[in-house]
Amino acid sequence: MFCSGKFFFRYLFYCFQWLFTFALYYTLPNGICRPAVIFFAQAVCVYNLEEIIIVNLKHEAMKKIILFAAILVSIAAAATGSPSDVSEKVLKAFNETFEKAQNVEWHEYDDYYQANFKMDDIQVRAQYDQEGVLLKTMRYYGEKQLLPNIVSKLKKKYASREVFGITEITSAEEVSFLITLKDDKNWYVVKSDVYGNLEQTEKFKRADI
């Protein structure tokens, strides 16, 4: 359905153009004048219809964009759970492991629960299955919290690069560190194990300079 407001006045103007064209047509003599008026009317009709369609297509596209954004927000809100939505097993396991956790936020996914929180000034994410088994933790911090043996090897191997941040990932299989480095031109991601075995996994140009 076409909308009111500016769209209504656009359509009204379009109707007046047609009325004026018909009046002009019947007041002019036969011959060249009437075909010229018909040609003018056709041109006006095509222009106005194109403009009306384009404007309304933009309006409909905007409505769809707004609706899509609202759906995304609803999905994100639904994914955020409160402690009452999390099973007692998960809460018990979490509280026993992370007694000093602050600002805890729970999120529910298909196969696990995730707690986002802060502990000892470090941002942490902890993932649990339905039975309260800790699957993975991710800790985000800076160079000062990184293991000294890894820092030493980083300084030696990548002396010209600066440590930007570290993601420490702990699972049942391994403990690994994803270290983001930067220099004047590029970003780098280096993976390390607890022993300081370093492997560069990514490199891309900086867009912040």
- Spatial CB neighbours of 82, under 8 Å, sequence gap ≥ 6: 106
Where on the phi/psi map is residue 199: left (φ > 0), alpha (ψ -120 to 50), or beta?
Answer: beta
Structure tokens belonging to residue 120 = 């000892």
Gap between the Cα atoms of 4 and 14, Å rounded: 14
Q: Which tens digit of pLDDT belongs to each residue from 144-190?
A: 999 999 999 999 999 999 999 999 999 999 999 999 999 999 999 99
Topology adopted by domain 83-205:
Nuclear Transport Factor 2; Chain: A, (3.10.450)
Backbone angles phi, psi at 49, to 5 degrees: -65, -40
Predicted TM-score of the model (pTM): 0.61
pLDDT per position as a tens digit, 29-44: 444 444 444 444 444 4
All structural domains of the chain with their residue ranges: 6-79, 83-205
